[in-house]
Structures are given as structure tokens and as C-alpha cells.
């Protein structure tokens, strides 16, 4: 089998998605998500100008060779743009292999290790009581695990909390929105939220929280410790992760489980986290973390150190990535949980999916390959529009982590 054509489909059914389509001489094609929220066109150019010419003529079954060809071949290693491009290629190749062999991808990477995939939902409110209500609404929908974010008194905007009851989509058109942030207000507020949630909903529901890179290690250590009695499923992105040893302090002060990785791209962002057991869950997604090929290796290494997967799954990753994640989630033994933030209905006019939510879990059928398809005609009706993720500034104006 040979690759004869490769297309890029950039569309915006409510938000931007970049999809790679690799087509073979036998008519089988594969899809890969290449969406890098707020930087979509950089990935498109990387693929269009530099990867696609090299893909033509290659045998799509040689996935390991092709992965290293692009990883090593660019000379310049790692990074979100490059690794998203590689991830998209890798996903599409696995899709092709599954379709060519008439088998779902999970059956190529170990088979089913479980029957269904535990997911966590998002609940958010402008204040504690509204968040409590929203968590309750998710419980009513059967969710067993819920990430709770809340507006912070004194701050107009907070990551994870939408305004005007719209679905939360942080990327906005026009220049990046700049919000004001104050970590001290946040640190004072969050433990109250989770104490209240435990009071109302008891011990059995899994509660998660995303600090979104905004604490220093000592702040995160304080937060993680004050949340210990609330028994979080995890505290996510407590501290920005470029310096892996930055988590030693948090780890030494708290038994609150820690998750990180949604902005990571390769195993090298994780080696110290893993071997020093500084975290409990890896969130690096298929779409940015080198595809199934690389993440299988990451999960293998993580499993030795009692670390599980808990992949990023916000709506800025397309249904192609979510499907790939679900195949992965079904197959690896050290799966932990999957983030699940449903796409807007318009997204599903473009992307035809093979998974569904039911009783706190996602379920995927046995369609060969990844099981997701794209309607290119519908996609064309929703052209790309530039949108940026927001910015944070501290109260004195300092650029800060969003």
C-alpha cells in the first residue's frame, strides 16, 4: 500500500479544527487531528509544506519508521507545532491500518483491557453555590467524576468558568482577551468550594480541579495540602511544568493526587515526573503528544511507576483525537480516566463519530480504524476564523500564566 494523496481540512464548526487526511492507492484513507488551539495554521503550514511532500509514496503500515522519520528528520526537535503535526500523521496511519485490516484500532494496540471508559465532566459556576448546583446537574447526568471550577470573589474572569451561561470556549476571536488574576484570592477560595462539595455530595463522587499552571510550588503545596481532606481525584496543573523538579515540593507536602501534561509534547517533558513519581496521572493527549505510537511508549514507562493516563479532552481537540484517545483508553492497562467535554452539535455535522456517553462512561463501537469520519462538504461551509486563547495579567499588570 502506498500513500498517494494527503489533504488538510481546516474548518470552524463553532471552533477551529485542523484535520489531516492521508489517502492510499487502495482507496483506504485515515484521519488525524492536527488542532493546536490558537495556532492551527502554523501546524497546517508545517504539514503542508514540509511533511506532506515526504509522505507521498510511503507505505502507511511502516508507522514506527515514519514516526522517527519526522521526529528526527526535522533536526529541530519537540515543541507543540512539530509534535502536533507528527501526532496527526501517526493517528491517520493507525486509522488506515485498522481500516485496511478491518479492525478497530484498539485491537491493534493490545485489545480491550476494559469494557467502558470512565470520564470526567466539567462543572463550573460563577460562585460556590452555582458550582455546587452544576456539579449536581452532572451527577444527575450519571457522571461519576466531575471537575469543579468556580469564579473567584474579586476576579472578573477565571479559567474554566464561562459567562452568561454559554458553553465554555476560552478561545475568542479578535486579539487575546486579557483577564486579571490574583493567586491569593484563588488559594483562599478553592478549599471552601471543595469542602462544600463534599458536604453536599458526600465521599463517593470523584472530584477534580484544575489550577491551570497558576501556582508556584509552595502555593500549590499549600493548596494540595488544604484539599487533602476533600480527597480530590486529582489536582491538575498545579504548577507550570517546564521545570519538572518544581513538583518535588508539592509532592513532599501532600497526598493529593497530581495530574499534568496537557501542554507537553514528548516523553522528555515527563521523565523526571515519572521516575521520581512526582505525579499520578499523565494528561499529554494523542494529538499533541506524538500520536498513539509515542503515547504507548509513555504509558508503558509510566506503568512501571504506578502512573496512569488521564488524557486531556477539552473541545479544542477534535472528535478524531477523542476517538483515538478512546481506543488508547480501552487498550492500555494503566488507563486512569478520560476528560470529556462534549462538542457543540455543529461539530458533529462535520465529524461523524462512533462513541457515545452513557452512565458516566464513554463507549466506542467496533468500526474499523478509529471510527470517525469527516464530511468535507459540510466542513467547507465553516471556514477557519482566527481565535486566541486568553491572557492573564496580575493585578499590577504583570503577564501571568493563563
Contact yes or no for 346/124 (Cβ under 8 A): no
Choose between 165 and 385: whose C-beta lies nearer to a copy of itself. Answer: 385
Stretch 119-148 residues interacting with a copy of itself (CB under 8 A): none
75 is catalytic: no
Residues within window 3-32 making contact with a copy of itself, judged by CB under 8 A = none
**What sign does the CA torsion over 54, 55, 57, 61 have?**
positive
For 394, the grid coordinates are 496580575
List, as one string, the DSSP characters of 51-62. IHHHHTT--TT-
Residue in 5, 25, 29, 40 with CA at minimum distance from that of residue 317: 40
168 is catalytic: no
Residue 349 or 388 with smaller CB distance to a copy of itself:
388
Q: Rule CB under 8 A: is residue 357 a binding residue for a copy of itself? A: no
Alpha-carbon distances, residue 44 vs 98, 141, 217, 384 (angstroms): 25, 37, 36, 12
Are 322 and 351 a contacting pair, CB within 8 Å?
no
Which residues inside 193-252 make contact with a copy of itself, applying CB under 8 A? 203-204, 206, 216-219, 221-222, 225, 228, 231, 239-240, 242-243, 245-246, 248-249, 251-252
Q: Is 61 in the site for a copy of itself (CB under 8 A)?
A: yes
In sequence order, what are the beta bridge partners of 7? 21
The answer to whether residues 74 and 58 touch, using CB atoms and an 8 Å cutoff, is no
Strand, helix or coil for residue 244: helix
CB of 348 to a copy of itself, least distance (A): 25
Given candidates 8, 155, 378, 391, which one binds a copy of itself under the rule CB under 8 A?
391
Q: Any contact of residue 184 with a copy of itself (CB under 8 A)?
A: yes
**Residue 342 within binding range of a copy of itself, rule CB under 8 A:** no
Q: Active-site residue among 159, 186, 247, 281?
A: 159
Give the residue carrying C-alpha cell 457522571: 143
Q: How far is the CB of 115 from a copy of itself (least distance, A)?
A: 4
Distance CA 61, CA 28 (A): 12
Least separation in angstroms between CB 127 and a copy of itself: 16
Identify which of 100, 29, 43, 108 has the alpha carbon closest to the alpha carbon of residue 317.
43
Q: Shortest distance, CB of residue 64 to a copy of itself, whole angstroms? A: 3
- At 145, give phi and psi (nearest 5°): -145, 130
Position 356 contacts a copy of itself (CB under 8 A)? no
Residue 184 dihedral angles phi and psi, to the nearest 5°: -65, -40
User: Judged by CB under 8 A, how many residues of this single chain contact a copy of itself?
Assistant: 121
Q: Among residues 26, 113, 141, 344, which is the contact residue for a copy of itself, using CB under 8 A?
A: 113
**Residue 27 or 76: which CB sits closer to a copy of itself?**
76
Contact region with a copy of itself (CB under 8 A), list: 2-10, 14-22, 111-119, 135-143 = 111-119
Q: Which of residues 290-329 bind a copy of itself (CB under 8 A)?
A: 293, 296-298, 300-301, 303-306, 308
Give yes or no for residue 358 binding a copy of itself (CB under 8 A): no
Do 276 and 248 touch, CB atoms closer than 8 A? yes
The answer to whether 363 contacts a copy of itself (rule: CB under 8 A) is no
Query: Where in the sequence numbering do the catalytic residues fall?
Result: 159, 212
Amino acid at each position: 500500500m502506498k500513500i498517494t494523496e494527503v489533504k488538510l481540512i481546516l474548518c470552524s464548526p463553532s471552533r477551529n479544527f485542523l484535520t489531516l487526511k492521508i489517502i492510499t492507492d487502495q482507496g483506504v484513507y485515515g484521519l488525524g487531528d492536527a488542532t493546536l488551539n490558537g495556532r492551527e495554521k502554523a501546524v497546517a503550514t508545517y504539514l503542508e509544506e514540509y511533511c506532506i511532500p515526504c509522505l507521498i509514496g510511503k507505505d502507511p503500515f511502516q508507522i514506527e519508521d515514519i514516526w522517527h522519520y519526522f521526529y528526527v528528520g526535522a533536526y529541530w526537535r519537540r515543541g507543540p507545532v512539530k509534535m502536533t503535526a507528527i501526532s496527526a500523521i501517526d493517528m491517520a496511519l493507525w486509522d488506515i491500518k485498522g481500516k485496511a485490516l478491518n479492525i478497530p484500532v484498539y485491537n491493534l494496540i493490545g485489545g480491550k483491557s476494559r469494557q467502558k471508559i470512565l470520564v470526567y465532566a466539567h462543572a463550573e459556576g460563577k460562585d460556590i453555590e452555582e458550582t455546587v448546583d452544576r456539579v449536581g446537574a452532572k451527577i444527575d447526568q450519571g457522571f461519576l467524576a466531575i471537575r469543579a471550577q468556580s469564579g473567584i470573589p474579586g476576579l472578573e474572569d477565571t479559567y474554566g468558568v464561562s459567562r452568561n451561561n454559554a458553553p465554555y470556549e476560552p478561545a475568542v476571536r479578535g486579539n487575546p482577551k486579557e483577564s486579571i488574576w490574583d493567586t491569593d484570592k484563588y488559594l483562599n477560595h478553592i478549599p471552601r468550594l471543595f469542602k462544600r462539595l463534599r458536604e453536599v455530595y458526600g465521599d463517593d463522587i470523584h472530584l477534580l480541579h484544575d489550577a491551570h499552571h497558576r501556582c508556584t510550588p509552595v502555593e500549590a503545596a499549600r493548596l494540595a495540602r488544604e484539599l487533602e481532606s476533600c480527597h480530590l481525584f486529582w489536582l491538575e496543573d498545579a504548577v507550570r511544568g517546564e521545570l519538572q523538579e518544581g513538583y518535588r515540593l508539592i509532592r513532599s507536602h501532600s497526598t493529593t493526587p497530581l495530574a499534568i501534561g496537557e501542554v507537553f509534547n514528548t516523553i522528555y517533558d515527563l521523565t523526571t515526573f515519572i521516575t521520581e513519581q512526582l505525579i499520578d496521572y499523565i494528561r499529554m493527549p494523542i494529538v499533541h503528544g506524538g500520536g498513539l505510537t509515542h503515547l504507548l511508549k509513555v504509558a508503558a514507562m509510566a506503568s512501571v511507576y504506578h502512573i496512569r493516563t488521564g488524557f486531556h479532552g477539552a473541545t479544542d481537540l477534535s472528535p478524531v483525537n477523542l476517538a483515538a484517545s478512546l481506543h488508547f483508553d480501552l487498550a492500555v492497562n494503566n488507563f486512569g480516566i478520560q476528560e470529556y467535554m462534549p462538542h457543540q452539535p455543529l461539530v458533529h455535522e462535520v465529524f461523524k463519530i462512533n462513541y457515545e456517553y452513557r452512565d458516566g462512561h464513554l463507549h466506542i463501537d467496533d468500526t474499523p480504524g478509529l471510527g470517525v469520519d469527516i464530511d468535507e462538504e459540510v466542513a467547507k461551509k465553516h471556514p477557519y476564523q482566527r481565535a486566541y486563547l486568553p491572557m492573564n495579567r496580575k493585578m499590577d499588570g504583570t503577564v501571568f500564566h493563563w
